Amino acid sequence: MELSSEEQAILGGGRGEAAKRALEYQIEVGRFWGAKRFVPVTNVHMMGDIEVMGDAGLEYLKGEAGRGARCAVGTTTNARCIDFAHRERLGQDAGEALKERELIATLRRMDVVTTDTCINYQTVYQPHLGEHVAWGDTGTVIYANSVFGARSNFESGPAALAAALTGRTPEYGFHLSEHRKGSFTVELKAPLHDLADWGAAGKLVGESHQNYYAVPVFHGYHRTPTADELKHLGAALASYGSMAMFHFVGVTPEAQSVEVALGGGVSPESLSITDEDLKKIYSAYSLGDRDARLVVFSGPQQSLFEMKHLASLFKDRKIKSGTTCIVTTNSAILAQCRDLGYAKTLEDAGVTILEGVCFYILQNLSQMRQANRWTNMVSNSAKIVNIIGAHRFNTILRRTADCVDVACSGVLR
Amino acid sequence: MVSEEGFSPRYDLDRWTGLITKPGHKLEGTSLVDKICFFPTAKGGIAAGWAFYDIKWKKIAPKAFIFGVTNPVMVQGAIFAGIPITEGWDPHPREVVKTGDWVRVDPAKKQIEVLKRAV
């Protein structure tokens, strides 16, 4: 790789041992992908909690903090695995919770802003067109590339941390214009009323095109989608298809037209999504033993408007005795929801609001499932319905209001 | 170990034993420990990036990953853990190697040498 004088200085130890080690690691990653140079990044979002990194990762971070590791650019953290306020009730391990606290303290020593959110793009930092960032959590990356027109690859925990320490990342993948062209088109004929419908559309496209470099171009939709709708579409595309970018004609900044989104190329394939396709998706979920005792709104964390909508649906209702309904969001949104009364409405209905976590990465989730004898998980998030399988839940995607009805009636249809 | 399925260290692998434990996986019950692993594709999200370092630390890591097509997370994770990783198959491994064979990998040259056949 071609190194600037600043990068050579970092390699020479001019910015300390930790930055030097980080850059050496980034050069190896860059060489694998044939990167010619580094690009400066303005913002980093990293995944780092005790469940995901284990003791090994924590020891590594402590070592780097001891070597003087400090973030060179604004750096935030993704959702955590332990909710300290609900730890005992959830049956989360006290020893792991202590490690999580040590981990948070270590990250703060490095100047990481521990926001503990997977919706940084809605609540913390919104990069502009062409801005290079290094984000982790696939849902954040696809939102950055697609909706903002910013540029990021999937940056896993160690890679994001390295970018934070050096302030740059190797130029490959979605930092390069050539990879940002649409590769096929999808006409959205379905009305897509609910967030679950958007996730289902993402599932349809993602499952059939599993490829990091596949970039679908959506077109033909009859109105302007909201940020939450694009969030669920992107999260599902990334989860089912490992995709990092989509275009939405007339909506996303690199898609003024189908032709522009395709970068002058011709789509080798044209899909369409109809209401019939969505009906098939919903009816394909097995209801298993019809266990309706776990309903989850998470993956990604809920935005303020999602919380508001849930509060309106749960108002003056109670969840069925024996049912657990979990909502996850970040601390900033929860504080606003307390002010606005949404949190009280939800809690009065019996809903558990978890802060700073995401349901699928909760420490001890498998044990939690066993202790509660949960077999099914019902959610309006196509992403979480996909990724929680490793914990051996049978998962069912339903529209938001239907999920609320399941939680309140105990009946699964 | 030659797999017909894509790989995710979080969806497929027990990160305490190194065994593939995903129910219904064709290699369910197979150990990755000290194996050279052929996978056609990479699955899963960002979390995989820490997982390789974790299993290396627990001394249950594979010797090398030979992917048909991989993604940035796998590469970032493998390099971080010091596990050799390559991408791109020609010819398809199923034509030349099978699970249990002994092979040597030269990742820089992208070359795989068969040393001994499985008995």
Asked if residue A176 lies in contact with residue A182, where contact means CB atoms within 8 angstroms, the answer is: no
CA A192 centroid distance within chain: 21
Of residues A29, A78, A211, nearest to B75 (C-beta)? A29
Q: Which element (helix H / strand E) includes B66? A: strand B64-67
Which residues are CB-contacts of A94 (< 8 A; sequence separation ≥ 6)?
Answer: A87
The two three-digit tokens of residue A302, written as one number: 């809920």
Residues in chain A closer than 8 A to B47 (CB atoms): 47, 52, 156-157, 361
Amino acid at A58: L
Q: Name the 3-class secondary structure at B39.
A: strand
Chain A partners within 8 Å of B75 (Cβ): 29, 32-33
Query: Are residues A154 and B50, on separate chains, in Cβ contact within 8 Å?
Result: no
Are the beta carbons of A112 and A20 closer than 8 angstroms? no
Computed from CA positions of residues A115, A117, A121, A123, in that sequence, does the dihedral angle turn out positive or negative?
Answer: negative
pLDDT for residue B44: 78
Distance from CA of residue A93 to its chain's centroid? 24
Q: Specify whether the CB–CB gap between A139 and A133 falls below 8 A.
A: no
Q: Which residues does A18 contact at the CB level (< 8 Å), separation at least 6?
A: A64, A67, A68, A69, A70, A165
Q: What is the pTM of this model?
A: 0.96
Comparing CB atoms, the residue among B54, B72, B85 nearest residue A154 is B72
CB < 8 Å to A173, chain B: 72
Question: How far is residue A32's CA from residue A39's CA, in Å, rounded to a whole number?
Answer: 16
pLDDT at A247: 98
Which chain A residues are within 8 Å of B54, Cβ to Cβ?
Answer: 53-54, 56-57
* SS3 call for B76: helix
**What are the beta bridge partners of residue B112?**
B105
Write the CA distances from A199 to A128, A403, B97, integer angstroms: 25, 14, 40
Q: Which residues of A touch B (CB under 8 A)?
A: 25, 28-29, 32-33, 47-48, 52-57, 59-60, 78, 136-138, 153-159, 172-173, 210-212, 238-239, 242, 361, 387, 389-390, 392
Q: Which residues of B touch A392 (CB under 8 A)?
A: 23
CA A406 to chain CA centroid, nearest Å: 25
Q: What is the pLDDT along chain B (119 residues), one digit of tens a residue?
A: 999 988 888 778 888 899 988 777 888 899 999 999 999 998 878 888 899 999 999 999 999 999 999 999 999 999 999 999 999 989 999 899 999 999 999 988 889 999 999 98
β-pairing, B102-106 with B111-116?
Answer: antiparallel
Half-sphere exposure of A388 (CA within 13 A, CB side): 30
Distance (Å) from the alpha carbon of A58 to chain B's nearest alpha carbon? 10
> How high is the pLDDT of residue B47?
85
Nearest CA in chain A to B110: A32
Which one-letter DSSP state was computed for residue B106?
E
Token pair for residue B82? Answer: 């010091």
- Would you give per-residue pLDDT tens digits along chain A (413 residues)? 999 999 999 999 999 999 999 999 999 999 999 999 999 999 999 999 999 899 999 999 999 999 999 999 999 999 999 999 999 999 999 999 999 999 999 999 999 999 999 999 999 999 999 999 999 999 999 999 999 999 999 999 999 999 999 999 999 999 999 999 999 999 999 999 999 999 999 999 999 998 999 999 999 999 999 999 999 999 999 999 999 999 999 999 999 999 999 998 888 899 999 999 999 999 999 999 999 999 999 999 999 999 999 999 999 999 999 999 999 999 999 999 999 999 999 999 999 999 999 999 999 999 999 999 999 999 999 999 998 877 889 999 999 999 999 999 999 98
Backbone phi and psi for residue B87, each to the nearest 5 degrees, phi listed first: -140, 145
Closest CA–CA distance from residue A11 to any residue of chain B (Å)? 17
Closest CB from B47, B50, B72 relative to A173: B72
List chain B residues with CB under 8 Å of A136. Answer: 46, 49
CB contact under 8 A, A153 and B72: yes
Residues 6+ apart with CB under 8 A from A267: A182, A183, A184, A185, A217, A258
The nearest alpha carbon in chain A to B73 belongs to: A156
